[in-house]
Structure 1
Amino acid sequence: MLAGEGAVAIWNDIAEAGRAEFYAWHLHEHMPERVGIPGFVRGRRYRAADAATQPEFFTLYETTSFQVIQGSDYLSRLNEPTEWTRATTAHFRTTTRSLTRVVASHGVGSGGAMLTVRFDIADDMVRDVVPRLSSALEAAARLPRISGAHLLGSDVGMSGQRTAESKDRKDLQAPARWVLLLEACDPGAFDAALALLRQSAELRDAAVGRYLHEYTRLKTAWQAG
C-alpha cells in the first residue's frame, strides 16, 4: 500500500556534467525539504534497471491527501527555489512531473524494484476502464514477488502549472495523465504482472520503465533555508 492518498511522480534524466551535484543535492537538500512539507510522508528515488528504461531516474513522493499537493506549503517551496535547486535543475533533461490522486493501491509493502507505466484513458472511458484496471492490479499484487500495485490519476492542469522553480526550464515534458506502479522484490517479477495487465488495451502502447531502489527519505522536520 502507498502511504497516503496523494503522490508526486517525477521522471528525469540528468546531464553527465551535473550527475555528482544531482546526487548531493537530492540526498542532502531536495528530498529532506520536500518530505519536510506538512502532509508529505515519504520520498523514494529509483534508477533505471536496464538500458531500455528512460528517463534514468524516477522519484515518488507520497502525501496524506491530494489536497496537500494543492496546498500553500508545497506551492511556496516551488515558488522559492534555493540557489542549489536552480543550479542542479539546470542539468535536468526529459523531465515529466505528475501531481496525482491515488485511485487504487494494493499489496503488502514497498519493494526493491519499481515498474512505472505511463498511459492515457479517453475521458469517456474512465468509468469503465478504472474499475477493470483496479481489479487487474489487485490480481497482480497477489503474484509471487510482487509487493505492491497502484493506480494514480493525474491532475494535468495542476501538474503543468508554471512556478518560479519551473518557469524557465526547457526540459519539462507533458505530464503523464495516468500512472500505474508495480513494486517487486526484483525486476524479473514484473514480466508475469505485465502480461496480466496488458490484457487491457489502454496499456499495450504505454511507456514502461523498470527501476531499482536507491534511496528512501521518511518524514523529517528539516527545511531548506
Structure 2
Amino acid sequence: MHTTPQGMLFVATDVGAADEVDFNAWYDHEHVEERARIEGFISAARYESVRGGRRYLGLYRTDSLGAFTSSAYKAAFGQQTAWSVTNLGRMVKPMRRVCAVTAVAGQGSGSFLSVLSLQAGAEADALGPQLAALPGFVQSYLLLPDAALSTPLPQESSEGRQLLPLLVVETSSSDANDAALAQAQTVLGTAAHDAACYALKWKLFSAELAR
C-alpha cells in the first residue's frame, strides 16, 4: 500500500504521416527505455488510438511525484539526443500532464484503455469499485494533474489549456473497455466528455532493465 500517491507522466500526441515511421522507431528504440531508466520510474508504456483522442499515448508511472523534481529527471532533459530533439519537434497538438495517481481500483495492465477528461469537481473517486464488477475489468485510476509540474511541451498550445482530472480505465478486451466506458459515462453523466480509447502497443518495466 502506498502512503503517498504514485505519479504518472501522461503524453498524448499526433504526428504527421511523413514522420510516423521515424517517430515510432525513436519511441521504441530510444525514448521508452531512456525514460524507464530514470530513477523513480516504474514503467513506460505506449498506446495507439482505436477511437478518439490523439494518435499516440505514452504513460510513465513513477513511485511518486517527487520523481519529476529529481536531479535524474532534470538531467534527462539536459542530455537530449539529436534524435529526441527532432522527434519532440514533430509532435502535433501534444498534451503533457504530470499527475498524482489516485482512486486506484484493481491491479495489472489491460490491453485496452480508455481516458475520460472530467470537469473539475466530478465525483469519480467511488467509480472504480463499480467498474471492477464488470467482466474484463483490470484497473482504473484517477489522474490529478499537478499545475507546477505539468509544463507544456514546446509544440503544445497554451491557449485554453486546462488541467482537468483524467479517469483511466484498463480492460482485457475492446468490448470490456466499451462496457466500462459506458458505465462510467452513465454514472458521471454530463461530467464525462472527450473519451479516447487506446490499444496497448508495448510496456517496459524498469525492473526488467539490465543496469
What TM-score comes out, normalization by structure 2 length?
A: 0.87
Per-residue deviation, 1:213: 0.7
- Distance, in Å, in 2 between the alignment partners of 1:187 and 1:39 is 31
Of 153, 163, 188, which residue of structure 2 is paired with 1:200? Answer: 188
Contact 2:114 2:181 in 1 (8 A): no
Of 141, 151, 175, which residue of structure 2 is paired with 1:160? Answer: 151
In the alignment, does 2:173 pair up with 1:186? yes
Of 178, 191, 196, which residue of structure 2 is paired with 1:209? Answer: 196
Q: Counterpart of 1:170?
A: 155
Q: Counterpart of 1:82?
A: 81
Instruction: State the identity %.
Output: 24
Contact 1:147 1:183 in 2 (8 A): yes
Per-residue deviation, 1:35: 0.4
Per-residue deviation, 1:202: 6.0
Contact 1:42 1:217 in 2 (8 A): yes
The 4+ residue runs of structure 1 with deviation greater than 4 A are: none
Alpha carbon RMSD of aligned pairs, Å? Answer: 2.2
- Distance, in Å, in 2 between the alignment partners of 1:202 and 1:149 is 20
In the alignment, does 2:5 pair up with 1:20? no
- Distance, in Å, in 1 between the alignment partners of 2:162 and 2:34 is 23
Higher strand share: 2
In the alignment, does 2:32 pair up with 1:44? no
Q: Against the structure 1 CA distance between its residues 172 and 60, is the aligned structure 2 distance closer, same or farther, given a 3 Å change threshold?
A: farther
Q: Specify every segment of 5 or more residues in structure 2 that has no aligned partner in the other structure, as ranges.
A: none
- What are the residue-to-residue correspondences of 1:213-224 with 2, within 5 Å? 213-219=200-206, 220=209
Q: Against the structure 1 CA distance between its residues 154 and 11, is the aligned structure 2 distance closer, same or farther, given a 3 Å change threshold?
A: same
Contact 1:119 1:176 in 2 (8 A): no
- Distance, in Å, in 2 between the alignment partners of 1:160 and 1:202 is 28
Contact 1:107 1:149 in 2 (8 A): yes
- Distance, in Å, in 1 between the alignment partners of 2:126 and 2:155 is 38
- Return 57-66 or 101-110, whichever deviates more: 101-110
Q: Counterpart of 2:60?
A: 61
What amino acid maps onto 2:165 in structure 1?
Answer: W
Contact 2:8 2:60 in 1 (8 A): yes
- Distance, in Å, in 2 between the alignment partners of 1:12 and 1:19 is 12
- Return 99-108 or 36-45, whichever deviates more: 99-108
- Distance, in Å, in 2 between the alignment partners of 1:95 and 1:136 is 28
- What are the residue-to-residue correspondences of 1:112-131 with 2, within 5 Å? 112-121=111-120, 125=121, 129=122
Deviation string 1:28-75 (CA, Å, 9 cap, x unpaired) is 11111100000101011000113xx12011110010111112222112
Contact 1:8 1:100 in 2 (8 A): yes
Q: Against the structure 1 CA distance between its residues 75 and 142, is the aligned structure 2 distance closer, same or farther, given a 3 Å change threshold?
A: farther
What amino acid maps onto 1:200 in structure 2?
Answer: L
What amino acid maps onto 2:119 in structure 1?
Answer: D
- Distance, in Å, in 1 between the alignment partners of 2:96 and 2:61 is 14
Q: Specify every segment of 5 or more residues in structure 1 that has no aligned partner in the other structure, as ranges.
A: none
Contact 2:131 2:180 in 1 (8 A): yes
Q: Counterpart of 2:107?
A: 108
SS in 1 for 2:126: helix
What TM-score comes out, normalization by structure 1 length?
A: 0.82
